[in-house]
A and B are shown apart, each in its own frame.
Chain A
Amino acid sequence: MPSRLSTWLGPLPFGQIFLFAGVLAIFALFGSNTVDSMQRTGLSPGFGFLFHQANFEIGETVLPYSAGDTYARALAAGLANTIKVAIVGCVLATVLGVALGIARLSGNLLLATFVHTYVELLRNTPLLLQLFLWSAIIHALPPPRGAYVFLESVYLSNRGVHVPSVSLQGLSWAIWLPAILLTAYASLSLARRLLTGSTFYIPKAAMTVLGSLVVCYLALTSFGLAATIDLPAKGGFNIKGGLSLTPEFFALLIGLVVNASASISDIVRSGIQSVKSGQWEAARALGLKPAQIMRLVVLPQALRVITPLMISSFLDLTKNSSLAVAIGYPDIVSVANTTANTTGQALEAICIIAAVYLTLSLSVSALMNLYNRRIVLRGEARR
């Protein structure tokens, strides 16, 4: 009986070993050339530079950072910026995309045509161009004095966007950690119910949500927590108060969200249309109401098609956020680029970019395989 190694290797084992050695040799050659060229310009290859002082500022950060901190910290701040725009972008793109997908399925010819045009326009122009255009539009907005105001609370000007913010007093770990865990658990179990198609009743679900809100409110007030809403307002030459989004962040966010919403709306539409019309007819014959058909028959099946595609468009959005470098938002690519320019350690900087995105892509695709296996197995077992 052949060993596991030899079945893995298959035919021509020596040829393959030669091939592998050849690939290694090419890499070794390029590697040694690179090291030589770096040493010729007085650079020492390696990641030691990460602990040196970085003497550049970063426009905006989630992680506290200032010039003089280490390069490692600068890169971490860039990564945090990437994560910020990716998370906010994915949430908003889902909301907008699902709404547009539903609009396209609504049966209203005008709305469907409009969404179709929107999707075609966005799909057939480069994302980078869309980002440049958004950036140009935002920079062409009036200065804060003449800012556009919506509902007395959202201010649009060439300094970016100002929205109301909620600030909490008396917030501590003891409160928000359990709150986050609870929310995560609730949304996970909700998603599971939706995905497995098991019945759950709206009154019951509503009661649970309402109950937990009341419990949360009571718990929070008894801990002495108070929430105040901070509205932005015009003051002098700028807009004060509220949450301010820089023009760069806003241009990147809106560009990514609008672009991703086009593909998400198409995913939602094709997912729902992938459920055969016979299913609708059968459910109608059983006496289910349209909302029930959607919730109990169509969505559970459509979500199997939709979920993996959605995840891959989230991944695309995250990868596309690397275009931030072109419009001046300091994401990981942009900070790594600055690092490469100031230290000359281009190889290391690119390795860091690649490592970040590869970790993300590979872990997401591993999760997706796991999900697909579960879904497929369940489907097969039921049949």
Chain B
Amino acid sequence: MISSRWTPYLFLAPALAGLLVFKLVPIAVAVGGSLTGMSLMGDLRFAGLENFEYLFTDPEFWSSLKITLLFNLIINPLQLAVAFALALLVFQPMPGLWFFRTLLVLPMAVSTGISAVLFGLFLDGNLGPLNGFLEWIGIGAQPFHRSQEQALATLIGIATWKGAGYWMLFLLAGLYSIPASVHEAARIDGASAWQRFRYVTLPMMRKPMAFVLVADTAINFLFFAPVYILTSGGPSGATSVLMFQAYRAAFTFSDIGRSLAISTILLAILVVIVVLEFRLLRAPEEERS
């Protein structure tokens, strides 16, 4: 008979095996691969830190890193704020609520690739209906993803359109989990609507918000498809995020070592930022413990 000491591990084994095969091994392969180089004829050789050294002396890498950080600095708080605002909006009981909720989560049903193509048509400088509308109301046509100044903002807009409804669902569930009695007690104590939001809702939403922020950051650091489909990293590198650089290195220039080095750096940055985010959103009572 198997000793009871091992029983929990046995039950965990399938999940641990999945974690190993689908997460830890690929990470190890990526980190290992970042230390290799490939000859023209496909022979692999150990290159040490050569790929990293080369990246650190390459202005293209630094510019791409800057863009990735800027993109995330804007998009993550923005998506959290928009998702939270939407959640508060559809949390209030009102007639036809189901309709608005459906409308907000609808972009989830459109694949990222399709939505990028649709926005490409929608925002097109010559054929796009949005520019027709902007001209009609007197603002004038905008270049959107075709301009160095507006491209990153356009991608942030598209990603937020697609993502906000999804993240809203988690925050809405969080809002429902706040006991009505707490709000009631605050009301009896004479707290105004703003005070109830500031001192009851917000602190009790810390956990769902932390989850959304961390999960959203992880996804946005790997933001890729709209860049590939709409801008190819341009104009003039304005949307050349690190994920796109990693893709291009691997699949256009067959430089797997460089690609994996970029992925490894991306992973390291992501770990640091996620740890920081967790700390930032930790409830005060957890900090004391």
Do A and B form a real pair? no
Residues of A in contact with B (beta carbons under 8 Å apart): none
